[in-house]
């Protein structure tokens, strides 16, 4: 595969072989399926028409277009002297497949084409073989093909060049990719100056997109954004690529901000845009923007199929509007598990365990086969609802009846289920007997349960394992420190904190978001950076006074720091979700629901005080923490204090 490829002396292909109009063979053009084609093919063999290179090429093209690679390869191997069109057809068919083996086969076919010496590759050959090299990461062969591109004088063809750049990007050679990209700008100039040449303009747009995608792939989002901003012409593909890159890499605010910029420009979002931005909207709980996306899809007649529909169900669920998620779900096609998984997962997140189980029974009655994602939703529902026996039953059903192999996520759900229920010894034993490698997430689930139930013995054991697995992760150190603090062992707390300081390990700060008038406001613990900080602080004091009037005493035992009582109360008062609620109260009219998203698990003091705040101010307050939703109303919470 990596041996040197050199250009042989090859005669130019004859003009008659440059195109193969299917209109010359009405029997082939009338075929709808491979079954139809086999009958025509048999007739061509009987009449010797199959020896006509045009006829053979058309049969090959039909097989390739219908993705029957085995049949296509058999047809190709029987061709006496395949012309360039036929070589390109078979190479492209294998290169367009997602599997590495087929991509390798495309590269091998290209080598055979070059060494056969009958025809020479053209501008339609190289994009396919370069695509194959990109998929397999075959950098050495890619460089050799680059040499051939130059020898054949095709290094000025924008589509060959864009695939060369993509090959270097996919192989991680950004220096080479950037050199070629800059060269293309010098050779072809600014897109706006070559608007009359549509092919060249389209090729330049592709080049820009490939380079932006390359920087996204290596995680250099600053370079990706700078390049994107410099693009002389941004197509919808350009916008979609960067929005998707932001969303898939956890840069949710950036994805939403870019989406807003797109709305203000002259390029309209399409189906891919909506599917790309909805996960970011979901993650930040930006309900108003999510509603806009839904309305935009309906107004512009964008099909809300199972994929987009499931993304909308997920968005409404994660933005706290489970009733709207249910409405969207009922209008969707339900032949695919993806739609059922979205609603079951959404109901689980909202603590509606029995409803999640009911929808699973509907899924079974509809004859839709559950997937591993279905069982993650069911196990989460059982965990949030305290349904231990039901959870065990679903886990066994998944393995014994459906025959699915449990993933680490399923084991994690079971540990969470047992841990929340206080069955810590069984949870630890469950982890130790897992047939797959344990990761830090599953041990963290057990450590969190140890903190919840104040089991220092198991907690210390688990924390030591975590520190060995992920020595730089602050989570295990903080959890162990909190565990010691909950029992008043301040000496042990100091030792853990000193260890963190020596290793320069810092705790992730609490952070909450609230969306008002389509704008996401972010607050950190003890945050006074907001332009309305004085009003927020005043509201926090009012809330504190109102809580005292109804007899509430702050749960200062939740402050796991060695400080006096007054300092602990002030610390609790300035948790990020309380700051977000205070901002919501001063920024909205009476009875307006408040929706808060928090990056950490809500603490007991915040949970108890928000229940009372909902009653005092007659507000529905919906809080999504790291694990689930809490719907506070009339002084109660939907979780029934089990979270």
Arithmetic mean of pLDDT, 243-271? 94
* pTM over the 0.85 mark: no
* pLDDT of 201: 66
Phi, psi of 514 (to 5 degrees): -140, 135
* pLDDT of 194: 43
Q: Is the pLDDT of residue 20 over 60?
A: no
Q: Which residue has the tokens 């968005």?
A: 315
Structure confidence by residue, pLDDT tens digits, 281-305: 999 999 999 999 999 999 999 999 9
In 3-state terms the chain splits into helix, strand, coil percentages (rounded to 5) of 65, 5, 30
* pLDDT of 181: 87
Into which CATH architecture does domain 406-507 fall?
A: Alpha Horseshoe (1.25)
Sheet of 629-633, strand order: 519-524, 511-516, 594-598, 621-624, 629-633, 636-637
Q: For the chain, which residues make up each domain, given as ranges?
A: 25-75, 406-507, 511-637
* pLDDT of 558: 57
User: Confidence band (pLDDT; 50, 70, 90) for 533?
Assistant: very high
Q: Is the dihedral of CA 389, 390, 394, 397 positive or negative?
A: positive
* pLDDT of 568: 67
Structure confidence by residue, pLDDT tens digits, 198-219: 666 666 788 888 899 889 988 8
Lowest average pLDDT, out of 97-111, 174-188, 303-317, 408-422, goes to 174-188
Arithmetic mean of pLDDT, 510-539? 91
Contacts 24+ apart (CB under 8 A), 627-636: 627/384, 627/601, 628/349, 628/350, 628/351, 628/384, 629/320, 629/322, 629/349, 629/350, 629/351, 630/602, 631/320, 631/350, 635/611, 636/611
* pLDDT of 19: 42
């Amino acid at each position: 595969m990596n041996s040197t490829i050199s250009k042989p002396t090859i005669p130019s292909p004859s003009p008659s072989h440059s195109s193969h109009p299917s209109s010359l063979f009405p029997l082939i053009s009338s075929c709808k399926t491979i079954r139809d084609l086999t009958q025509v093919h048999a007739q061509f063999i009987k009449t010797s028409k199959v020896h006509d290179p045009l006829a053979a090429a058309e049969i090959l093209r039909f097989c390739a277009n219908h993705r029957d690679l085995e049949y296509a390869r058999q047809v190709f191997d029987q061709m006496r002297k395949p012309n360039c069109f036929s070589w390109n057809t078979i190479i492209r068919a294998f290169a367009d497949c997602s599997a590495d083996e087929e991509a390798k086969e495309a590269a091998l076919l290209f080598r055979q084409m070059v060494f056969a010496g009958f025809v020479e590759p053209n501008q339609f050959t190289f994009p396919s073989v370069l695509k194959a090299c990109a998929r397999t990461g075959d950098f050495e062969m890619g460089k050799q093909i680059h040499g051939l591109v130059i020898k054949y004088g095709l290094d000025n063809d924008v589509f060959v060049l864009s695939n060369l750049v993509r090959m270097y990007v996919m192989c991680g050679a950004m220096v080479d990719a950037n050199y070629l990209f800059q060269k293309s700008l010098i050779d072809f100039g600014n897109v706006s100056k070559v608007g009359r040449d549509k092919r060249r303009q389209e090729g330049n747009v592709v080049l820009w997109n490939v380079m932006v995608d390359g920087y996204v792939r290596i995680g250099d989002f600053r370079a990706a954004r700078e390049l994107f901003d410099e693009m002389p012409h941004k197509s919808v593909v350009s916008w979609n690529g960067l929005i998707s890159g932001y969303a898939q890499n956890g840069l949710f605010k950036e994805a939403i901000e870019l989406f807003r910029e797109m709305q203000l420009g002259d390029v309209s979002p399409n189906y891919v845009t909506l599917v790309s931005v909805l996960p970011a909207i979901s993650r930040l709980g930006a309900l108003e923007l999510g509603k806009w996306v839904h309305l935009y899809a309906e107004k512009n007649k964008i099909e809300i199929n199972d994929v987009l529909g499931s993304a909308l169900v997920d968005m409404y669920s994660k933005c706290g509007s489970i009733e709207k998620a249910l409405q969207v779900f009922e209008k969707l096609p339900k032949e695919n598990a993806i739609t059922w998984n979205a609603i079951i997962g959404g109901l689980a997140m909202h603590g509606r365990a029995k409803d999640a189980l009911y929808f699973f029974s509907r899924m079974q009655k509809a004859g839709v086969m559950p997937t591993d994602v279905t069982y993650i939703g069911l196990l989460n529902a059982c965990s949030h609802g305290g349904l231990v026996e039901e959870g065990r039953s679903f886990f066994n059903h998944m393995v014994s009846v459906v025959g699915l192999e449990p993933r680490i996520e399923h084991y994690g759900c079971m540990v969470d289920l047992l841990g929340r229920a206080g069955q810590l010894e069984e949870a630890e034993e469950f982890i130790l007997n897992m047939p797959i490698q344990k990761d830090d997430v599953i041990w963290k689930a057990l450590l969190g349960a140890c903190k919840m139930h104040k089991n220092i013995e198991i907690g210390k054991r688990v924390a030591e394992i975590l520190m060995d697995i992920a020595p730089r992760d602050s989570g295990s150190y903080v959890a162990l420190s909190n565990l010691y603090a909950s029992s008043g062992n301040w000496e042990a707390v100091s030792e853990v904190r000193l260890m963190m300081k020596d290793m320069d390990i810092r705790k992730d700060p609490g952070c909450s978001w609230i969306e008002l008038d389509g704008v996401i406001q972010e607050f950190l613990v003890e945050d006074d950076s907001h332009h309305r900080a004085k009003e927020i602080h005043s509201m926090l004091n009012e809330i504190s006074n109102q809580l005292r009037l109804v007899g509430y005493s702050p749960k200062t035992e939740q402050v796991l720091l060695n400080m006096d009582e007054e300092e602990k109360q002030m610390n609790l008062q300035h948790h990020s979700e309380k700051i977000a609620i205070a901002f919501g109260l001063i920024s909205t009219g009476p009875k307006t629901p408040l929706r808060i998203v928090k990056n950490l698990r809500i603490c007991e003091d915040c949970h108890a005080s928000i229940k009372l705040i909902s009653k005092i101010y007659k507000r529905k307050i919906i809080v999504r923490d790291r694990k689930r939703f809490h719907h506070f109303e009339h002084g109660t919470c939907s979780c029934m204090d089990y979270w």
